[in-house]
Structure 1
Amino acid sequence: MADAALDLARLLGRQAEAVCRHYLSAGRRQGDYWQVGDVRNSPGRSMFVRLRNSAKGPAGKWTDAATGEHGDLLDVIRESRGLSHFTDVIADAQAFLRLPPTSRDNEAPLRSKQCSSRDPVISARRLFAAAQPIPGTIVETYLRNRGITALHETGSLRFHPRCYYRSDAHGPIQPLPAMVAAVTDLRGRITGIHRTWLAPAGSDKAAIPTPRRAMGHLLEHAVRFGVADDVMAVGEGIETILSVRTVLPNLPMAAALSAAHLAAIAFPPGLRRLNIVRDSDPAGNRARDSLASRAASVGIEANVLSPALGDFNEDLRAFGVDALRAGIRCQLAPDDVSRFMVLSP
């Protein structure tokens, strides 16, 4: 079966572009490579699939510059389809190639482990474990430069002084300082991480093409601040959520990291009211509507918090804490004001 898998991978490599168009439809061709966000078909540019045989390797081999993952087109089929059994991967590949199916009696149990050269969740957990708490680091400097002073319950954030960055599959690896955020499920298990590479002194984000990248499993999960109970707030960005916590320090919050992931975030048990921290753009509007509809369908009250500018960190930096407090206060349910808001500096 192992030899058969190699043969199947070679056959897929001969039709590498067609495989990518079918299984990685969120990407597009760039020269001799197919470029996409990751092996699970997320939009983006960090993963490259070789479309032709070359001195660098055979067609169908791929590398994700953001995570270090690499593999072949059987991996692509497994991850993009969410298949857990290798026999299902084989069957899907054979159907794509219009080959007759093989007997399931010859299943090779080892391929399911061999087919993924690196588990992104394990990599995420190792990177987070290697980082350090943020007090006294340039992560703290970076956040304070953005007006964020509420840095309590930020154990989900850490600092790594030499976090690897690579602009694309062919670029050099650069060790740069970064804010590393743990993405967790409702039970607190790390399922991924988010990295924000920083300028050396923490004055801003690093001057690189993509200073923010995520790794691992983000769908339904989030970067969490405080423990959710019956009321919480959710939004997209880490800086946006921490800006709101400046005036609502006792309200548990979560950053889903993108509009698409915000719309799909999981609801903790016992939640009765969800404050949706909206970004003011078309994607933010769609996420707001989708999340509010999902919440209503399970009996959770949805309350939308809207910024005056593009997001609440922009409001904080432009208008200050007092104006931010006043703008949010009038949008909250009255009992949330008394329960969670600090009414004076």
Structure 2
Amino acid sequence: MESPAKKLSRDLAKSVEAVCKHYLSNGRRSGNYWIVGDVNNNAGRSLFVRLKGPLCGRGARGRWMDGATDEHGDLLDLIRAREGFTSFRDTLDEARRFLRVQREMPTQRLNKNPSECDTIALARKIWAASQPIAGTKAEAYLRARKITAELNDRPLRYHPALIHREHPNSAPCRLPALVAAVTNHDGEITGIHRTFLDPARNAKADVSSPRRSLGFILGNGVRFGVSNDFAVVGEGIETVLSLKSVAPHLQMVAALSAAHLAAWEIPVGLRRLVIAADNDRAGRNAARKLAERAEAAGIDVEKIVSRGEDFNCDLRDSSPERLRHQLASLRAS
């Protein structure tokens, strides 16, 4: 017979987005995940909750992880951490209260389309509709950040007018965007990452969340080169392209956030991994978590940490030679 706790966890998972909106109201939906700073509902991007998937087992909806603290669990664990309960009975009572309130609420708009589109298919459609990056505002944006890496034949494109909404219910607008293909280890596009750009300047758009992902991102990444037995993996696209600017011979992957860096799927056959961490708590903790998994798999791991906020800050604030010196010892052999 199923335990009360397992049944409650499954029932919460059926309403996972409502749980997130209630307990983590300062977060937002990003593709198939709810993103927020931490279990205390601070703004940020360290903690992610899976919104799609089966009700139990591998990849289950409602599973969450904080890349900065290594905390993880199901929605019962989330409620316990958020409310500060020390008694598991109190956690179960709170979960029952929440579910009872949900059932008693009048019919409400759930912002769902009965024929909900496949986000991976939508991501691929946007990718196909985007154009080569050469000579576009997307290339100008990256060059303005002192990135000199070769961009042709890379997983980067440009879209002149992608739809952007500040919030799910806000009016849409169209903005130019740098579009990056997110792929798995087989090279299949599983999603995209969009950096919305200012129409008048070579800078990110002046919106609350200029970077957004779509599709299946967790475990995958934006790949610059083919990773066989060696790879450099970092967080953001600009960070990885900054490293690529001074070490074009190295194969690199952008995992797109600290939480995704911690959860990056290590490919079969990888023998050496260099983890390029942003210089903050979330970045260092994510690098440590990934390193522990890689080392447990018998992989030779090296961690490098940016001097500034990230490696693009290092590239912009100092000479490329200084960054090149930091990477001089790295070899793809």
TM-score if structure 1 supplies the norm length?
A: 0.68
Q: Kindly indicate whether the alpha-carbon contact (under 8 Å) linking 2:230 and 2:273 is maintained by their aligned counterparts in 1.
A: yes
1:225-304 aligned at under 5 Å gives the runs 225-304=224-303
Do residues 79 (structure 1) and 52 (structure 2) align?
yes
Structure 2 CA distance, aligned partners of 1:39 and 1:80? 13
* Larger deviation, residues 303-312 vs 36-45: 36-45
Question: 1:290, CA displacement in angstroms?
Answer: 0.6
Question: 1:115, CA displacement in angstroms?
Answer: 5.4
Structure number with the bigger relative contact order (C-alpha 8 A, sep ≥ 6) is 2
Structure 2 CA distance, aligned partners of 1:34 and 1:149? 37
Q: Structure 1 residues 41, 178: CA separation in 2 closer, same or farther (over 3 Å shift)?
A: closer
- The one-letter amino acid paired with 2:224 is F
Report the counterpart of residue 181 of structure 2 in structure 1. Answer: 182
Q: Structure 1 residues 238, 154: CA separation in 2 closer, same or farther (over 3 Å shift)?
A: farther
Q: Kindly indicate whether the alpha-carbon contact (under 8 Å) linking 1:163 and 1:175 is maintained by their aligned counterparts in 2.
A: yes
Q: Kindly indicate whether the alpha-carbon contact (under 8 Å) linking 2:138 and 2:178 is maintained by their aligned counterparts in 1.
A: yes
Report the counterpart of residue 50 of structure 1 in structure 2. Answer: none
Report the counterpart of residue 161 of structure 1 in structure 2. Answer: 160
Q: Structure 1 residues 27, 282: CA separation in 2 closer, same or farther (over 3 Å shift)?
A: farther
Aligned structure 1 segments of 4 or more residues deviating by more than 6 angstroms:
none
Question: 1:152, CA displacement in angstroms?
Answer: 4.0
The count of corresponding residues between Structure 1 and Structure 2 is 261
Do residues 205 (structure 1) and 204 (structure 2) align?
yes
- The one-letter amino acid paired with 1:171 is S
- The one-letter amino acid paired with 2:21 is G
- The one-letter amino acid paired with 2:138 is V
DSSP 3-state at the match of 1:242: helix
Do residues 325 (structure 1) and 324 (structure 2) align?
yes
Report the counterpart of residue 22 of structure 2 in structure 1. Answer: 28
DSSP 3-state at the match of 2:122: helix
Q: Structure 1 residues 232, 300: CA separation in 2 closer, same or farther (over 3 Å shift)?
A: same
Question: 1:21, CA displacement in angstroms?
Answer: 10
TM-score if structure 2 supplies the norm length?
A: 0.70
Report the counterpart of residue 107 of structure 1 in structure 2. Answer: none
- The one-letter amino acid paired with 1:325 is R
Structure 1 CA distance, aligned partners of 2:146 and 2:53? 40
DSSP 3-state at the match of 2:285: helix
Q: Kindly indicate whether the alpha-carbon contact (under 8 Å) linking 1:153 and 1:225 is maintained by their aligned counterparts in 2.
A: no
Q: Structure 1 residues 78, 325: CA separation in 2 closer, same or farther (over 3 Å shift)?
A: closer
- The one-letter amino acid paired with 1:239 is E
Identity %: 42
- The one-letter amino acid paired with 2:16 is Y
Do residues 43 (structure 1) and 16 (structure 2) align?
no
Structure 2 CA distance, aligned partners of 1:254 and 1:212? 17
Structure 1 CA distance, aligned partners of 2:268 and 2:291? 17
Deviations 1:17-53 (Å, cap 9, x if unpaired)?
x9689623443379xx9964257452259xxxxxxxx
- The one-letter amino acid paired with 1:210 is S
**Unmatched tracts of structure 2, length 5 or more:** 1-10, 38-48, 58-95, 101-112
Q: Kindly indicate whether the alpha-carbon contact (under 8 Å) linking 1:236 and 1:256 is maintained by their aligned counterparts in 2.
A: yes
- The one-letter amino acid paired with 1:156 is P
Deviations 1:206-227 (Å, cap 9, x if unpaired)?
1111111111111110001111
Question: 1:256, CA displacement in angstroms?
Answer: 0.5
DSSP 3-state at the match of 2:218: coil
Structure 2 CA distance, aligned partners of 1:247 and 1:134? 20
Structure 1 CA distance, aligned partners of 2:200 and 2:166? 21
Structure 1 CA distance, aligned partners of 2:188 and 2:252? 17
Structure 1 CA distance, aligned partners of 2:212 and 2:51? 23
Report the counterpart of residue 130 of structure 2 in structure 1. Answer: 131
Q: Structure 1 residues 165, 322: CA separation in 2 closer, same or farther (over 3 Å shift)?
A: same
Q: Kindly indicate whether the alpha-carbon contact (under 8 Å) linking 2:255 and 2:264 is maintained by their aligned counterparts in 1.
A: yes
Structure 2 CA distance, aligned partners of 1:201 and 1:320? 28
DSSP 3-state at the match of 1:139: helix
Question: 1:200, CA displacement in angstroms?
Answer: 1.8
Deviations 1:126-172 (Å, cap 9, x if unpaired)?
00000001001011100010010112465311000001001112221
Report the counterpart of residue 143 of structure 1 in structure 2. Answer: 142
Deviations 1:62-86 (Å, cap 9, x if unpaired)?
xxxxxxxxxxxxxx998254579xx
Q: Kindly indicate whether the alpha-carbon contact (under 8 Å) linking 2:232 and 2:250 is maintained by their aligned counterparts in 1.
A: yes
Q: Kindly indicate whether the alpha-carbon contact (under 8 Å) linking 1:37 and 1:44 is maintained by their aligned counterparts in 2.
A: no
Max radius of gyration: which structure? Answer: 1
Report the counterpart of residue 48 of structure 1 in structure 2. Answer: none
- The one-letter amino acid paired with 2:182 is V
